[in-house]
Amino acid sequence: MGENLTIKKIDTSLHNEDLAPIPAEKRTWGWFEIFNVWSNDIQSLFGYTLAASLFITYGLSGWAVFAAIILAGFIVMGLVNLSGRPSVRYGIPYPVMARASMGVRGANFPAVIRGIVAIFWYGVQTYFASTAIALLINTLFAVESTATFLGMTGVDWLSFVLVWCFQIYLFWRGMEWITRFLNWAGPFVYLVMFALMAVIWYKAGGGLLDAVGTIFSGASDYEGSSFSAFVAIVGTMIAYFAAVVINFGDFSRFVRNEAEMKKGNLLGLPVSLAVFSFIALFVTAGTVVLFGEALTNPTDIIARVDNTFLTVVAAITFFAATIGINLVANFVPPAYDIANLAPSKIDFRMGGLITAVIAFFIGGLWVSVVSQIGIAGFVDTLGAVLAPVYGIMIVDYYLIKGGNLDIQDLFSADPGGKYYYDGGWNRKAIIGFSAAAIFSVATVWVPALAALAGYGWVIGAILGGLIHWGLMRGSAVPAAQQV
């Protein structure tokens, strides 16, 4: 690595062991761990439903949608190669990386927003993971429960608490145990998904292969052109990965070198996404052939297949897949984000516990309250606010800082430090962030911009980067000093 990652002068308001740079000799991840980060991100119940629904939403042929999803995988791979590189080099998580562009205090703002989004979805995904356990209990023991509390039966509540406790247990054991779970869950889920595809394909017959290219064509109310439909699918898939794209450094900091990271991103994004989308394409087309309608929810498909063994295995699989994405996208990031607010008082574990406690109430109230009040607009708005952060962070690191950071000053509250700016805040970055965020949020709420909602995140990120470059270009490192 060649970097001095030891913090010589520690400011406890900015530093603890979890946020400190990981020395090169303590980084144990290779390409397989990164591959499984993405596999678990892709394989959730929501991820499958999203991929399957894209085949029936835009009226394109199955192969055209498949190509759009793969293209999105390559684009996301490029984005995370950029955001992951500095964390591989310096061993720092996303909240610390954000200090270089936003200021050592200003970085708390995007970190808090990212944490709020993640905590909300952590609670929701915990509930959805619990439905798999409830399915397993009801299938094995034929439990009949009609009494409900807050819209959930006794089995539902038992399943929810079990999942909530299991995730805390994994998290409390540390990143090593989380890594083991991800490495087990990723390959296992693929085995079961292939088995489901084989069952559907066998029941649908040999004509399925010929049907997949045309079975969805013209089967939607989408009024745009084929090109706009293709672009919308690409934008939607990029937006799906947007949160992890921003905080990918939380995972790449554990990787031995950049080559391993890039290999893991290649196999975990375009390649893994191709395999997963191939399964979704054939299973969804198979449901049309078998049942006369396109089913996009795996639990509905399993119920129609009516096989007890497959139901049990699928329940375990859906549980593992949903826990996987919850750990990757919604548990580890806010743990770092919350710890970054007060490093001397909150460590990684405490940040995770705070996340879990808040998320318990969100997940427990999902059926009766949260899902009924249209909270999606609120969450989409927070996600849109984050879009410019990526552009600012990337432009700042590669173009303004020339690919070089002063690791000492990232943890320094000295007014003379490189990243202290104005009272710890980089006002120029905040201005660029705010201006670009207005557009991103408008794609959520302004009807005239509704057509851009699928790729508003991408445009917001580009705007944030361009505005930041325009405001900060006088501070750019000369090209001769760039790495």
Counting every residue written for the chain, the total comes to 483
The three-class DSSP label of residue 140 is: helix
Q: Residue 96 and residue 19: Cα distance in Å, rounded?
A: 7
Q: Which of 278-287, 326-335, 358-367 has the highest mean pLDDT?
A: 358-367
**Strand residue runs (E) in 124-192:** 148-149, 152-153
State the number of CA atoms in the 13 A half-sphere of 187 facing the CB.
7
Q: Residue 426 and residue 436: Cα distance in Å, rounded?
A: 16
AA identity, residue 196: L
Q: What Å distances lie between residue 153 and 115, 130, 132, 150, 425, CA to CA?
A: 30, 12, 14, 9, 49
DSSP 425: B
Q: Give tens-digit pLDDT for 217-253.
A: 666 667 777 888 888 888 888 888 888 898 899 999 9
pLDDT for the residue numbered 1: 45
Q: How confident is the model at residue 479 (pLDDT cuts 50, 70, 90)?
A: very low
Q: Which tokens is 448 given?
A: 């005239």
Taking the model in full, what pTM does it have? 0.85
The burial of 211, by beta-carbon neighbours within 10 Å (0-12 exposed, 13-18 middle, 19 or more buried), is given as: middle
Q: Give tens-digit pLDDT for 432-447.
A: 999 999 998 898 888 8
Alpha-helical regions (H) of 342-426: 348-364, 376-395
Helix, strand, coil proportions of the chain in percent (round to 5)? Answer: 75, 0, 25
Radius of gyration over alpha carbons of the chain, in Å? 23
**What is the DSSP track for 301-317?**
HHHHHT-HHHHHHHHHH
User: Which residue ranges form the domains of the chain, and what is each CATH number?
Assistant: 27-379 (1.10.4160.10)
Q: Residue 297 and residue 47: Cα distance in Å, rounded?
A: 10
255: which strand partners?
A: 29
